Amino acid sequence: MRPSIVKAQPADVEKDASMIKQKEMMAKHYNRLTDAKENGEKVASTFVPGNLNELIMCFDLVNNLPEVNAIQSGLRKQSGAYIMEAERAGHSEDVCTYVKSDLGMMAKGNIGPNGKKLPDPDVLLLSYTGCFTFLKWFELLREQYKCPTIFLQTPYMADGKVTPNMVQYMVKQLKEDVIPTLEQVSGVKFDIDRLREYLAKSAKAEDDLVHILQSGKNKPSPIDAYFGGIYYIGPIFGAFRGTDDAIDYYRFLREEVDQRVLQGLGPVTPDGPMAEEKYRLVVEGPPNYTNFRQFWKMFYEEGATVVASSYTKVGGTYDYGFRHDPDRPLETLAEYCLGVYTNRNLPMRIDMLCDYINEYEADGLLINSIKSCNSFSAGQLLIMREVEKRTGKPAAFIETDLVDPRYFSAANVKNRLESYFQMVEQKRSGSGAAA
């Protein structure tokens, strides 16, 4: 199979075939979501970290992800107006901009990316995995929609390990609270064999995802594991994990990536295949979505490829060995939630970033500190200094925001990146020290 690139108009972007396939999948899901009430389907709103999509499907519920809706608004340059609307309603400038984008979108008609109104949820399922904002966000949504709310408490990995008691605590919640409430809301009786079937499909797709992400160890890397990685993780972190569509997509993507490796090609960028790979980076923190293409362009124009990132583990740390296990259906759901990146303590995050720098032979670490995301940003300076000390590789710090265009300064980001690449060059030549 030859890697397929769809040639766009000069003012547009170039997309490889897997990106087209992924966008078609997402469009199909949004059409199902906005048509749910008309088709007699009920809707569960939940979040990406700790997303229990396999369990949700057991009750014939359609999965709605508020933070993905905010990302879509950011990519479409709509989030700025939504955020201002939320701030006019009294929400602070310091509140997560995903939240404000979502609340502002609701106030302006709750129109999804396909131009249709998103349905009111029938149930809110909060699988709490380390981000306190999610808890407050769903409190606001509960006030708005007056629907049942399920809270699945995930113990924080403060000591850096998962214990049997932690798993048992979560399984008890699943049996006594989560599953009975979903049965009541949906009118569908829980079938554990149906769950096992979905979990087996998840594991198959997860194998291919890990292969794809680990292809970044090649030189040149055939993927960008941060900007391109956003497209790669979309289906498995959202409404497609546990489905045949996910299996087909990740098999297709794996073949595409493997072919680029065979041909010695780098990733496909919005302006076409990347030229020479000059810098190999590991990136910590989410990207900016309101200026996503401009942000990415600052990297690939300098020949910088992100070979590994922490953000692509926010919905599951599969490259550390976790797979959904159909033989332990409820336990594996608990272990999945426990292991996501936002539920890992700072030493675990530091270990992960150091491992990536060493295993992927990266030139250093770049942190994108997000103004309104405390879950990621807290402790990042400590992370940066510790990673520098342990790897001997230079690190740098830039600042943007998730979906608030007011906090993206292109000139500032570009200047810092250029300074960082100079630092990398000095480190290579032995004439400079890590910052």
Q: Give the model confidence (pLDDT) of 278-334 as tens digits.
A: 999 999 999 999 999 999 999 999 999 999 999 999 999 999 999 999 999 999 999
105 assigned to some structural domain: yes
Structure tokens at 419: 């300074």
| CA distances for 336 relative to 38, 139, 266, angstroms | 33, 24, 32
The reported pLDDT for the residue numbered 434 is 41
Full residue range of the structural domain in which residue 64 is found: 5-429
Q: Does residue 61 surpass a pLDDT of 50?
A: yes
378 pLDDT band, cuts 50/70/90, is confident
Higher pLDDT, 1 or 219: 219
Flag the least confident range among 270-274, 320-324, 333-337, 385-389.
Answer: 270-274
SS3 48: coil
Distance CA 265, CA 257 (A): 9
User: In 10 A of CB 160, how many CB atoms?
Assistant: 11
- Confidence band, pLDDT 50/70/90 cuts, at residue 181: very high
Backbone angles phi, psi at 21, to 5 degrees: -65, -40
Which pLDDT value is given to residue 130? 73
The answer to whether residue 295 sits within a structural domain is yes
d(C-alpha 74, C-alpha 403), whole Å? 5
Q: Cβ(324)–Cβ(141) under 8 Å?
A: no
User: Is 435 part of any domain?
Assistant: no
At residue 201 the predicted structure's pLDDT band, cuts being 50, 70 and 90, is very high
| 3 and 259 Cβ atoms separated by less than 8 Å | yes
Band (pLDDT 50/70/90 cuts) for residue 267 is very high
Please tell me the pTM assigned to this model. 0.93
Q: Is there a domain that residue 404 lies in?
A: yes
How far is Cα 367 from Cα 383, in angstroms, rounded to an integer? Answer: 9
User: Is there a domain that residue 34 lies in?
Assistant: yes
Give me the number of domains the chain comprises. Answer: 1
Report the 10 Å Cβ neighbour count for 402: 28
Determine, yes or no, domain membership for 301: yes
Instruction: Judge whether 371 lies within some domain.
Output: yes
Q: By mean pLDDT, which of 135-144, 199-208, 241-250 is the weakest?
A: 135-144
Tell me the C-alpha distance between 379 and 99, whole Å: 22
Please tell me the distance from the alpha carbon of residue 272 to that of residue 142, in angstroms, as a whole number: 45
pLDDT the model gives residue 283? 98
- 3 phi/psi in degrees, rounded to 5: -60, 130
Evaluate if residue 195 carries a pLDDT over 50: yes
Average pLDDT of the residues in 108-113: 95
For residues 127 and 130, what is the distance between their CA atoms, to the nearest angstrom? 10
237 inside domain? yes
